[in-house]
Structure 1
Amino acid sequence: MAEVLEEVERWLRTRSWAAADRPLERLLAAKAARGTTVSVVLPALDEEATVGAIVAAIRRDLMGPRTPLVDELVVIDSGSTDGTARAAADAGARVVHRDDVLPRLPAVPGKGEVLWRSLLVTGGDVVCFVDADLRDFDASFVSGIVGPLLTEPDVQFVKATYDRPLDGAAGQGGRVTELMARPLLNLHWPLLAGFVQPLGGEYAVRRSLLERLPFPVGYGVEIGLLIDSLHTVGLDALAQVDVGVRVHRHQDGQALGRMAAAIYRTAQLRLSRGHLIRPSLTQFERADGAFVPRTHPVDAEERPPMREIAEYEARHAA
């Protein structure tokens, strides 16, 4: 155990940075020198209130003629019923509807499904994912996590780390992280114990790694990709960058319970690859003076590595 702790401490010293450590001018020079292309993907479902401001900030600060860090900005709309698609397009994003990607394979609900399909409609050497519900968004969320992939050839996967305030209290927003993900990682994958925000939706990855990984279709996608990346490329290929404060919409306790169940299920499969005894979660709501059970399925499906998809291979061959 002491050796693992020493390894984590070493990793924290050598693979944890702040966004300010790499000024934009340095990133632009490194990008030009290596010819690396960058795609930014925003998965979105009913995020009309926030998606436009995020897109506008990225276009203004990272896609202008003097700051061409991002080559491609795509919003994947997974069935919004509000004006998400219109707001994103008006702000300058290319909007792709989830069901239009790989139509031979019917889409299933879930964030991971959208991220997996995004690989088919983007072309960047580096793919940067950003949640579409962020408020007070700053473009350093993107430049910060893309930075190490441009300046450190051996880094392949970079997570954003940040404070997540809840009701004004700093660091209290990551409830599922603290109650489910962090204990799981510390007990079963202790080499990943140094990640401050293992479930955060902002991370950048080399396409050459992403296309080798399976994608849990639902809430388990972040922890699944992190664990599988550790086993695929090793700890020193993973990194994290502090980008400040993340302000976003918080979900209620029952939604967090469903998220926690999906994360546990994703970890369970990676521990044993065994059979789930009961891939569902029963929760209770009070109605008419009594507790009424509501049972929800737990995400039990994963998409295969993208390089196993014929359409993806054909696109790259072309």
Structure 2
Amino acid sequence: MGIHAAHWDDWALDALLAAKSHAGATVSLVVPARNEAGTVGAVVARVRQALMQTVDLVDEIVVIDSDSVDGTFDVATEAGARVHRSAEIRPDLGSHPGKGEAMWKSLFVTSGDLVVFMDADLLDWDTHFVPGLLGPLLTRPEVQLVKGFYARPGAGGPLEGGRVTELVARPLIALLFPELAGLVQPLAGEWAVRRSWFASLTVPTGYAVELAALVETVRRAGQPALAQVDLGTRAHQHQTLLDLGAMATQILAAALARVDVDTASTDGAVVLRQFREGLDPTRHVVPVVEREPAERFL
């Protein structure tokens, strides 16, 4: 049957509002952010104006501040979001660094039946991302998770922003999870999911959250539970090549865990040695912790 694909303008906004009303559903926009004071305000303000104040598609915008040391918290608050520091959400459950942790923790401070995730570092985007991602969830009851995909223009070419996707995620999918091979951008930060479904998933605390959610979804519910939507164009800030090593390590660890391969992780971390110059490596301790399904604690 394959993974359902659509384009963001396949649904008129009025039709989505009617579908949302008919289903009695509520929508939470969650923006995980770490040191994104320069961009998070525009993400929040634009969505709030277009999809909360102008129409009632989004019911709440929540920013999860993941250990920022800049003005992310204040900027997001001033833009109209409800902001929570990840480490202060359910302190009884402890705290870990990472994007996945922020997304997992968001389930304890949001209420939407449908949860839309958007990265905080967006530079070239528009508010149609949100209704585009909601389209399959509001019109196809079998769909549990929707991934966005987009053109990613840059000075280095169209794949400039997809290095980990092309060098790590796509080869892993080809070798281990071929049922996901039809996804254009499996690591896209813009995606949406039914709240109850996300709460039932095991969630890596770092950058592997997207791949892990896809693998568990297709294994449990098959390809019909997934959809992908062309959102047009997106640009964001890029990390350096060496910084991407930690991201790749987390994605590899999560993938191997899902095919029962033991790794060299100790106490929930892997030591990544990177050689910048000569024989003296830089040691990077990379967390590979995974959270149990949130539904067990809600």
The TM-score with structure 2 as length reference comes to: 0.95
The structural deviation recorded for 1:168 is 5.2
Secondary structure, aligned partner of 2:119: coil
Partner of 1:156: 144
Q: 1:165 aligns with which of 142, 146, 153?
A: 153
Cα offset, 1:30, TM superposition: 0.6
The match for 2:87 is 99
Look up the SS of the partner of 1:11 in the other structure: coil
Aligned to 2:263: 276
For each residue in 1:74-112, what CA deviation from the matched residue of structure 2 results, as whole angstroms up to 9, or x when unmatched? 001112111111111111101111122011122111111
Give 2:200's aligned residue: 212
* Partner of residue 10, structure 2: 21
In the alignment, structure 1 residue 307 sits paired with structure 2 residue 292: no
Matches within 5 A, 1:47-126: 47-64=36-53, 66-126=54-114
Decide whether the 8 Å contact of 2:124 with 2:233 is kept in 1: no
Deviations 1:262-311 (A, max 9, x none): 11111000011x4313532110123xxx45301222332100001111xx
- Structure 1 residues not aligned, in runs of 5+: 1-9, 313-318
What letter corresponds to residue 292 of structure 2 in structure 1?
P
Which residue of structure 1 aligns with residue 25 of structure 2? 36
Q: Which has the larger radius of gyration?
A: 1
What secondary structure sits across from 1:208 in the alignment? helix
Corresponding residue for residue 315 of structure 1: none
**Which residue number corresponds to residue 11 of structure 1?**
2
Q: Distance in 1 between matches of 2:157 and 2:263?
A: 37
Which residue in 2 is equivalent to 1:188? 176
The alignment partner of 1:40 has SS state of: strand
Following superposition, the deviation at residue 121 of structure 1 comes to: 0.3
2:167 to 169, 172, 179: 179
8 Å Cα contact 1:185-1:193 kept in structure 2: yes
State the 4+ residue runs in structure 1 displaced beyond 2 angstroms. Answer: 277-280, 297-300
1:78–1:98: 8 Å Cα contact kept in structure 2?
yes
SS in 1 for 2:2: helix
Residue identity opposite 1:54 in structure 2? V
Which residue pairs with 2:276 in the alignment?
A: 285
Q: Matched residues in 2 for 1:90 and 1:291: separation?
A: 48
Q: What does the per-residue CA deviation read over 1:201-256, in whole Å, with 9 as the maximum and x for residues that have no partner?
A: 11100011111101001111111111011112211010000001111001111011
SS of structure 1 residue aligned to 2:239 = coil
Asked if 2 retains the 8 angstrom alpha-carbon contact of 1:282 and 1:293, the reply is yes
CA contact (8 A) 1:54 1:137 kept: no
Which whole-Å CA distance do the structure 1 matches of 2:264 and 2:67 have between them?
31
Give the AA of the match of 1:198: P
Structure 2: runs of 5 or more not aligned = none
**Match runs of 1:198-277 below 5 Å:** 198-272=186-260, 274-277=261-264
The letter of the residue matching 1:57 is: R
Distance 2:156 2:249 in 1: 27
Which amino acid in 2 is paired with 1:32?
A: S
Name the SS for the 2:230 alignment partner.
strand
Could you tell which deviates more after superposition, 297-306 or 165-174?
A: 165-174
Greater helix fraction, Structure 1 or Structure 2: 1
Deviation at 1:127, TM superposition (A): 0.7
Q: How far is 1:191 from its partner?
A: 0.9
Query: How far off its partner does 1:152 sit?
Result: 1.2
3-state SS in 2 of match to 1:292: coil
Aligned-pair identity in percent equals: 49
| Mean CA deviation greater in 196-205 or 276-285 | 276-285
